[in-house]
Chains A and B, each alone.
Chain A
């Protein structure tokens, strides 16, 4: 009887370690991953998924130390990080789980409702400093950005500023919520946030890249590839551990998983979720 108990215990332990997965990384991907993990656990009794934040860099270095099974990241892995993994002879798989659109926002009282990429570049690089120059009322433009090391900052720089640097006097906020709060209470403010965070307290701007016309930041426009400021959200995992996390990743890429992605305000990977 006792022997049987021990055996049973071992079997339980084995079962939990086989399906337990740890996910760590970007705070941008965190809320989405939590929702997906909840749905996954509901469908797969016995599975256990632990999700923690900390930042893209934290997740990727945890992957290197084998303290996480999946690293969430809002930016693609850097050359240096890749080299580190290569030194340890570990190969990583990159999986795009969803896309995120960035909305450019201004104070609700601002009459400006559309801008071109060139105008945005001028504003965030400090070449355009007054709203009058882009068709608004006279007043200083106050530029809010995210922290220099955030994936959002990096992506906006790549996409809108074409890899040029922001001006040094840009106000950098520690979190998306802080950007919204500041834009809400500052008349001349402009900033950017993930589409999922957009709320009626701030006004989104229509954006045009080239001569394709102005498009508002909505999930529909992003799926149809009309809205231009869209970035991928990544999962990274060690290729050798792929089996362990396969189930969860398959679930995310399945129609049910992509439906959750869409409901959370992100853009699904496939066109027909």
Chain B
């Protein structure tokens, strides 16, 4: 009877282990398949075409060029590799300002032929219209159906996921923003974290430690949105006054909030590592005539360096993946960061803010999954480094 029970418990554990791993693999597979779907989308919105007059020598336009043309930043075909001719932008809604309701028919059944007429009459036109309305393409040149190039996504510097006719999914500013904020967060958290952990493990009396440790661990239990709120109401206006900035929402505000959030992780792990330094080693050091400070930095820190490093890397991991607090204080401007005092945008904040409203299964939705994949690789790299560092020496 006892044996059967033991066996069944064993199977239960094995099964739960396998099921958990399987589910995790399934989630990762889902993430990757959705993310990769982005590259199967076309640079122009589904169901629409960008059409030119046949006499126009321009054959292909990049997503970026299309955006600049429709933004009227490029106004002459010469700038897009064509002849010296002004560009005339045409959207479906412009149809009503050219033709009257009667001309288009009661159910707009003449819309297709009128669009064609407009394109044929204007040599410098670029039209963005539904595919279904432009069935007859005689004398009209439509842009080739390119899929979104990998290069434009991974090396693109502009994030305009909802731009029409061609959205831009350059992830570089978001990636740079994430790393930039995390780097400064760790730069701030590191010295403080180390000081506190050394103080707690080596200098503080038992009584002080018993008070301090729960307080620092309490920091870990505060929800991140509370940190974000604190950051928005206190840190942001403070930085604005301190540096006399036009705008307080900045990378530095994000870094400060993240540093406070990463502190407990760093302190707890590093302090545990230092406390694990055997008493015999400290006593040997003291017996050789070293004073307390020399013992700390010549014996205790070198002995526990791998534990301290894991604490730091785990802190970085927390900073990289943090969403809510950063979303609230960094200003979320998708620009390449040039200084820490300017607004920037991180990957987790982008996903959190945009996923709710993005149409399911379309390019924008999939691009957010791709961002998830990239975040997955960053944290994977961080976790692997923790494994490597903590297994190095003991």
* Interface flags, B212-248, vs A, CB<8A=1, else 0: 0000000000000000000011001100100000111
A55 and B343 form a contact (CB under 8 A): no
> Which chain A residue shows the least CB distance to B336?
A168
Q: Is there a chain B Cβ closer than 8 Å to A268's Cβ? A: no
Interface residues of B in 327-362 (CB under 8 A from A): 327-328, 331-335, 343, 345, 352-362
Q: Within the complex, what minimum Cβ distance (angstroms) separates A178 from chain B?
A: 7
A148–B48 Cα distance when bound, in Å, is 21
- For A147, what are the chain B residues with a Cβ–Cβ distance below 8 Å? 332, 353-354, 357
A57 in contact with B343 (CB, 8 Å) = no
Which A residues touch B365, using CB under 8 A? 57
Q: With A80-B47, A168-B160 in contact, is A142–B247 under 8 Å at CB?
A: yes
Q: How far is the CB of B71 from chain A (nearest CB, A)?
A: 4
Judging by beta carbons under 8 Å apart, are A83 and B356 in contact? no
Which residues of A have CB within 8 Å of B352?
Answer: 174
Contact of A61 with B360 in the complex, beta carbons under 8 Å? yes
Q: How far is the CB of B83 from chain A (nearest CB, A)?
A: 24
Instruction: List, in ascending order, chain A residues with CB within 8 A of B321's CB.
Output: none
User: Is A168 within 8 A of B162, CB to CB?
Assistant: no
A153 at the binding interface (Cβ < 8 Å): yes
Q: Which of A61, A84, A139, A149 contacts B354 (CB 8 A)?
A: A149
Asked if B152 lies at the interface with its beta carbon under 8 angstroms from chain A, I say no
Q: Quick one: given A169-B335, A186-B240, are A57 and B357 in contact (CB under 8 Å)?
A: yes
Max chain B C-beta neighbours (<10 A), residue from A56, A164, A165: A165
| A171 touches which of B67, B343, B361 (Cβ 8 Å) | B343
A64 to B362, alpha carbons, bound, how many Å?
A: 14
Query: How distant is the Cα of A83 from the Cα of B359 in the complex, in angstroms?
Result: 12
Kindly identify which residue among A163, A170, A181, A186 contacts B333, using a CB–CB cutoff of 8 Å.
A170
B37 at the interface (CB under 8 A from A): no
Would you give the shortest CB distance from B74 to chain A, in whole angstroms?
A: 12
Residues on the A chain within 8 Å of B358, using CB: 57, 149
* Interface band, chain A: 35 or more
Within the complex, which residue of B47, B357, B364 is in contact with A56, where a contact is CB–CB below 8 Å? B357
* B149 at interface by CB-CB < 8 Å: no
Do B356 and A84 have beta carbons less than 8 Å apart?
Answer: no
B333-A168 in contact (CB<8A): yes
| Tally of contact residues, B, Cβ under 8 A | 49
| B180 CB, nearest partner CB in chain A, Å | 15
**With A174-B328, A178-B232 as contacts: A150 and B357 at CB distance below 8 Å:** yes
* Chain B residues numbered 54-69 whose CB sits less than 8 Å from any CB in chain A: 67
* Contact indicator B354/A165 (Cβ below 8 Å): no
Contacting residues, chain B, for A174 (C-beta < 8 A): 327-328, 332, 352-353
CB distance from B112 to the nearest CB of A (A): 16
Nearest Cβ on chain B to A117's Cβ, whole angstroms: 15
Q: Does B34 contact A (CB under 8 A)?
A: no
Asked if B353 and A168 make an inter-chain contact with CB atoms under 8 angstroms apart, the answer reads: no
**B contact residues around A142 at 8 Å (CB):** 246-247
If the complex has contacts A153-B162, A164-B72, are A171 and B333 also in contact, measured as CB distance less than 8 A? yes
A269 close to B (CB within 8 Å):
no
* B271 contacts the other chain (CB 8 A): no
A264 at interface by CB-CB < 8 Å: no
A188 to B45, CA, bound (A): 36
Mark each residue of chain A from 55 to 90: 1 if its CB lies under 8 Å from any CB of chain B, else 0: 111101100100000000000001111011000000
Q: Does A239 touch B at the CB level, under 8 Å?
A: no
Contacts of A172 in B (CB 8 A): 331-334, 345, 353
Interface membership of A137, Cβ < 8 A: no
Chain A 80-120 interface 0/1 with B at a Cβ cutoff of 8 Å (1 = within): 11011000000000000000000000000000000000000
Q: Which of chain B's residues have a CB closer than 8 A to the CB of A31?
A: none
| A185 interface hit (Cβ, 8 Å) | yes
Instruction: Report Cα–Cα, A89/B110, bound state, in Å.
Output: 26
Whether B249 sits at the interface, judged by CB under 8 Å, is yes
B369 within 8 A of A: no
Min CB–CB distance A101 → chain B (angstroms): 20
* Minimum distance in angstroms from B346 CB to a CB of chain A: 12
B77 in the interface, Cβ–Cβ < 8 Å? no
Most buried by A among B159, B327, B353: B353
Residue of B nearest to A83 (CB): B47
Known: A61-B359, A142-B246, A173-B332. A79 touches B46 (CB 8 A): yes
State whether B237 touches A185 (Cβ < 8 A): yes
A182 to B327 alpha-carbon distance, docked (Å): 13
Q: A60-B359, A83-B46, A149-B353 are in contact. List 16 more A-B contacts (CB 8 A).
A: A27-B356, A57-B359, A58-B356, A79-B46, A80-B46, A83-B47, A149-B162, A149-B354, A154-B162, A165-B160, A165-B163, A169-B343, A171-B247, A172-B331, A185-B236, A188-B246
The 8 closest A-B pairs by CB, nearest first: A55-B356, A149-B357, A55-B357, A61-B360, A140-B246, A171-B331, A149-B354, A142-B247
List 20 contacting pairs A-B, 8 Å CB cutoff, sorted by A. Answer: A56-B357, A57-B357, A57-B359, A57-B365, A64-B360, A80-B46, A84-B361, A147-B354, A148-B161, A148-B162, A149-B357, A164-B72, A165-B67, A168-B173, A172-B334, A172-B345, A173-B332, A174-B328, A185-B248, A186-B240
Query: CB within 8 Å of B: which residues of A?
Result: 27, 54-58, 60-61, 64, 78-81, 83-84, 125, 139-140, 142, 147-151, 153-154, 163-165, 168-174, 178, 181-182, 185-189
Listed in ascending order, the chain B residues whose CB lies under 8 Å from chain A are 45-48, 67, 70-72, 91, 130, 158-164, 173, 232-233, 236-237, 240, 246-249, 327-328, 331-335, 343, 345, 352-362, 364-365
